[in-house]
Amino acid sequence: MGRIGESLPGERRMNHLADFFFSPFQEFTFMRHALVACLALAIGCAPVGMLLVLRRMSLMGDALSHAVLPGAAIGFLVSGLSLYAMTIGGIIVGLTVALLAGAITRFTALREDASFAALYLISLALGVLIISMRGTSVDLIHVLFGTILAVDDPALILIAAITTVTVFTMALIYRPLIVECFDPGFLQSVGGHGTTMHFTFLVLVVLNLVAGFTALGTLMAVGMLMLPAASANFWAKQFWSASMIATLIAMISSYSGLLLSFYMNFPSGPSIILTAGICHAFSVLFGKYGSIYSRHKAGDHLTG
Amino acid sequence: MHAISLQNLTLGYERHPAVHHLSGVFESGSMTAVVGPNGSGKSTLLKGITGLLRPLGGRIDRGRLRTTQIAYLPQRLEVDRSFPITVLDIVILGLWHHIGIFGGMKRMFWEKAAHALCTVGLDGFEARAISDLSGGQFQRVMFARMLLQDSPVVVLDEPFTSIDAQTTRDLFQVIQRWHAENRTIIAVLHDFDQVRAFFPRTLLIARELIGWGETHQVMTEENLLLSRRMSEAWDASAKVCLENGA
């Protein structure tokens, strides 16, 4: 890293810069795999995260990410540290919790946040219990924080498949999903299948969390959903434009996070999420709409 | 014909009635104000009429009218006004029965939406974000959406609460236009002068029916006094109602 600061002729310095930014991915297959996985995740997670934020379900995403744990743990129990088994387990348990919590909310008086919290706590306790029955704390750390350096071809295909499903589903049900967000009463009054849309959306959340946890771990996966989305709202005033910005932020954080973890020898999941966190802090401070800067910016008031 | 008739209708929550044994008919093309004190079951009645709430007893006969054909404006607090979406996007949803989930936008639809915005006095507001609108402007947007819904029955729940006089006048013209077009209009209102001036028919309830008919016959001092005296209490130990209807 020190070489970059030295006064070199322009061209050679460019080479060094390019080296710095690209060589990890040229030289190491696992870095390429990790990068592709994260970029794919960014495409699917950003719009789903945007909807989570807009529906005020941010903390439910968090709860669901914990709920995935026992599924992963059972997969781990059956076939060791196999991403496949853990992923399938995660999907099954995540969907069960999401649908059960959704159903409890729609058909009883319990509020959605409370029913999610109740189910995820049960689920999390079960997960930790199962892992502690077999395996060491190192394995637990792997499940919780991810092993991006072990993203193999099957895992890549899985992530790509989930992203594809997410993007296509979002495109298909975009209209009712948006309406269900801001005016559920209207959607209901015109017969727009609000409940179906809600459950479809929950399925997408679980799929993206599971896609994320192979790479980032169950604890960190939700960061890819929430942080870019929570930042994007400071830069755009419409859903689609904010989603594009969220995707961009997620991609930039993935790339720089991976570089950070490569050079500094940090674990990759936290590096990526922390980079996204820096983007978020920047947005909170200097974003175009509603940020601290925009609210206190100097200048005379306008005529209208 | 789009009459809505209520037959011994009881609506409520968890078996407690908010509207109790109500019978009568909203004639096709009639314009009815629903009046009563707070907690008298006005909003509950509208939810029943629009099919959002299932009756505890009795029935609602809407003829061949489907509930999804009824244009319904709930009390405003149910809409998330901080949502990042433009005025035009909201108004055009009024065409839901034409565009549905997958339908594309035609040029004609954009023109219709722009025209509806013009009618409610919001021309040029198409690209504004709804978070930038005032309460009155937002209510105008809701009316523009209902204009596009083109429904034979329009149900309004306190459309003018906390809306200024000018906006109320403008939107009232829209309601009167609907009335002239022979649509059935049912509106919950609190302003008695408004009701007396503009609504030919009135339904006065305080959980039980007090009066339903020509406005000047229903809105008497005697009836209004009676409605205020009716209990609003929720009796936790209420007995099962055995009365089998009027």
The pLDDT tens digits for B19-70 are: 888 899 999 999 999 998 888 889 899 999 998 888 988 889 988 888 888 9
Structure token digits, residue B221: 């001092």
Helices B165-180 and B135-149 pack at an angle, to 10 degrees, of 10
pLDDT band at A2 (very low <50, low <70, confident <90, very high): very low
Q: Residue A4 above 70 pLDDT?
A: no
Which helix (H) or strand (E) covers residue B244, if one does?
none
Which helix (H) or strand (E) covers residue B71, if one does?
strand B70-73
Calpha distance A214→A221 (Å, rounded): 9
Q: Residue A271 above 80 pLDDT?
A: yes
CB neighbours of B87 closer than 8 A, spacing ≥ 6? B117, B122, B125, B126, B127, B128, B129, B130, B133, B141
The whole-number average pLDDT for the span B217-244 is: 74
Structure token digits, residue A164: 């594809």
Interface test with A, best of B83, B132, B153 (most A CBs within 10 A): B83
Assess contact for A252 and A279: CB atoms under 8 A: yes
A-to-B residue pairs, Cβ atoms closer than 8 angstroms:
62
Calpha distance B111→B5 (Å, rounded): 36
Per-residue pLDDT tens for A114-154? 888 888 888 888 888 887 777 666 666 776 776 766 678 88
The whole-number average pLDDT for the span A254-258 is: 93
Cα–Cα distances (Å) from A169 to A83, A207, B9, in that order, read 25, 12, 42
Gyration radius from chain B CA atoms: 19
- Whether residue A172 and residue B102 make contact (CB cut-off 8 A), yes or no, is yes
Interface test with A, best of B93, B105, B143 (most A CBs within 10 A): B93
Dmax over CA atoms of chain A, in Å, equals: 71
CB-count burial class (<10 Å; 0-12, 13-18, 19+) for B236 = exposed
| Nearest chain B Cα distance for residue A156, angstroms | 31
Which helix (H) or strand (E) covers residue B10, if one does?
strand B4-13
The whole-number average pLDDT for the span B109-131 is: 88
Closest of A173, A186, A113, A198 to residue B79, by C-alpha: A186
Calpha distance A299→B221 (Å, rounded): 58
Q: Quick one: what percent of chain A has pLDDT higher than 70?
A: 90
Nearest residue, CB atoms, A181 vs list B74, B83, B131 = B83
Q: Residue B245 above 50 pLDDT?
A: no
Task: List B residues 37-56 in contact with A (Cβ-Cβ < 8 A).
Answer: 50, 52
The whole-number average pLDDT for the span B210-215 is: 90
CB-count burial class (<10 Å; 0-12, 13-18, 19+) for A238 = middle
In this predicted structure, what is the pLDDT of residue B207? 84
Least confidently predicted of A134-138, B150-154, B214-218: A134-138
Per-residue pLDDT tens for A180-195? 888 888 888 887 788 8
Residue type, B245: G
CB contact, 8 Å: B101 with chain A? yes
Higher pLDDT, B27 or A6: B27
Least confidently predicted of A111-115, B193-197, B219-223: A111-115
Structure token digits, residue B99: 């565009």
The whole-number average pLDDT for the span A16-41 is: 87
Assess contact for B22 and B10: CB atoms under 8 A: yes
Residue type, A284: V
Task: List A residues 185-204 in contact with B (Cβ-Cβ < 8 A).
Answer: 185-186, 188-193
Calpha distance A156→A178 (Å, rounded): 30
The whole-number average pLDDT for the span B213-220 is: 89
Q: Which residues of B touch A196 (CB under 8 A)?
A: none
Q: Which residues of A touch B72 (CB under 8 A)?
A: 185, 189
Per-residue pLDDT tens for A14-24? 678 888 888 88
Q: Quick one: what percent of chain A has pLDDT higher than 90?
A: 24
Q: Which residues of A touch B50 (CB under 8 A)?
A: 189
